[in-house]
Amino acid sequence: MRVACAQLNTVVGDLEGNTALVHEAVRAAQERGAMLVLTPELALTGYPPEDLLLRPSFGDASRTALEEIARDVTEGVAIVGFVEHDEDVHNSAAVLADGRIQAIYRKRFLPNYGVFDEARYFRAGSEPIVLEIDGARVGIAICEDIWYPAPVAAELAEARLDLIACISSSPYHLAKGSGRERMLQTRAYDSSAALAYCNQVGGQDDLVFDGRSAVIDAAGDLIARAPVFEESLLIADIPLDLAAGRRLREPLLRRLPVSAAYEPVVVETRPVATPSGEANVVAPMPSEAAELWAALVTGIRDYVGKNGFPGVILGLSGGIDSALTAALAVDALGPERVRGVAMPSVFTSGQSTEDAGVLADSLGIRLDVIPIAPVVDAFEGQLAEVFEGRPRDVAEENIQARVRGTLLMAISNKHGDMVLATGNKSEMSVGYSTIYGDMAGGFAPLRDVSKTWVYKLSSWRNLDAGREVIPQATIDRPPTAELRPDQRDSDSLPDYGVLDPILELYIEQDLPPAAIMERGYPPEAVERVAGLVDRAEYKRRQGPPGIKTTPRAFGRDRRMPITNRFGAR
């Protein structure tokens, strides 16, 4: 059987645009002779729709769009993800063939952890479904259904299928894709059935979807894979006789019960075109750094583009965080849509201003230079009476950061470009940032990227380009906020080689300080870092959204109370 996985970049709520994407993908797949076409989970509405699902009209509009598509599926079969509003709301997959809806499957496992809130919105389905398509037995799963060996996957094995069709919207984080692919291979092998997995691609607010759709044969071998972070129509010719042969050789399947629940729905369909074009292509996988770079570029491009901003603006300090953010933005949007602003103060070194200029020239972006000393002096003059009798401290330092934030937002208001905040996860974790200052902006691409990865990505980008996209002097220079004379990040924080592993253990693995100390990290540093993380929650809540790249990002992934007396223990 020739199967197509339509790896689409949908937009939440854009039913008209998403319907057009599905139409085009089904047409292209049929022209290449695909008997079965899969689209991503909730392809018609985009994923995740969140509280749009609480509007009955949203589900009704999804059904109307589905019926429109169904009328045009006159050859072969399409499985399309949609929101089903039937007294309650279901995350469903419709089977379209012969110009109509012939069956509907409702997702049974509703994830309700991390970034997922599906139990808030959907009623879980309760029944499996088996289709007979052109003589082949095909079962359907939706995303989370396939991640566990039982009960859904076990029932699919009991159904003695030739093919499992799984539609999905599985968001990206570092190293997730390879683990997901291994899981899919295990499900196919254990079920003695081929498995076609169609995943969403693109950015949606703080989530990015990597695609990486795949087709696996009944022996658990990968036979086709779509590229990461690219829209793609993956075509695979699946040998169905392999599934039948394995079932005869596997005694376990003979011991499984045969239930009337697995009686197939015979799908009435019409022949498709003779198969043509290349099939069973296995896209190569990029390195971890290349994949993370692609994730960040995708997140910036789609957040800016889907929200209608003409471009972006960001402060260029001469430091590595702003340099990396600018390089990512140029790859995402092109240099003509990226504007840099250098805002030197009396504490800004000549090296910083020079490095900002070198970076702007390297990237081909506009750079405006706006000295902020007169504005800072004016603020301090107005505050002199209120500050009288108190020594200079972080209050005066933060005036500089807030002046910069105000200038960037003013330029954004005047020209319409969105401000990119440039802070990284290490800084956000411990509150080493100025609320209403360098945290100001509409989007923070590095919000879930550690300082360690900031350095790795900067070096990788230069190596990949074969030139200094990001000046080597910027990479080599000790990190500093330059808010007071001779300031260094290390004055306030442990070395990033110590800080970042502690943060990973405390935030992403949720280990208590004592367990982190047992791994050999300095007790004083661990206690201090944990306390800083806890106290900075109020800041993070007021910061801009950013791209999830780790298993546990700040925001809806990690939800800690701001008012909290439990503390780190």
Residues with active-site annotation: 41, 107, 143
Q: What angle do CA 411, 412, 415 make, to 5 degrees?
A: 80
Beta carbons of 94 and 131 less than 8 angstroms apart: no
Q: How far is CA 490 from CA 206, 348, 433, 438, 479, in A?
A: 30, 18, 14, 19, 8
CB neighbours (10 Å) of residue 164? 28
- Can you tell me the distance from the alpha carbon of 228 to that of 296, in angstroms, rounded to the nearest whole number? 12
Picking from 396, 393, 397, 371, the residue whose alpha carbon sits closest to that of residue 382 is 396
Dihedral, CA atoms, 471, 475, 480, 483, nearest 10 degrees?
10
Q: Which residues contact 187 (CB under 8 A, 6 or more apart)?
A: 146, 149, 153, 164, 195
Instruction: Give the residue from 427, 454, 419 showing the smallest Cα distance to 544.
Output: 419
Count of beta carbons in the 10 Å neighbourhood of residue 516: 25
Q: Which amino acid is residue 391, in one-letter code?
A: P
Query: Nearest 5 degrees, angle CA 231-CA 27-CA 281?
Result: 45
Sign of CA dihedral 185, 190, 193, 196: negative
Structure letter (DSSP) for residue 519 = T
Q: How far apart are CA 131 and CA 398, in angstroms?
A: 63
Residue partners of 289: CB distance under 8 A and separation at least 6: 456, 457, 460
Q: How far apart are CA 474 and CA 485, in angstroms?
A: 19
Kindly compute the dihedral angle of the four CA atoms of residues 516, 519, 523, 527, in this order, to the nearest 10 degrees.
-10
Residue with the two structure tokens 């080493």: 432
Instruction: Report helix, strand or coil for 215.
Output: strand
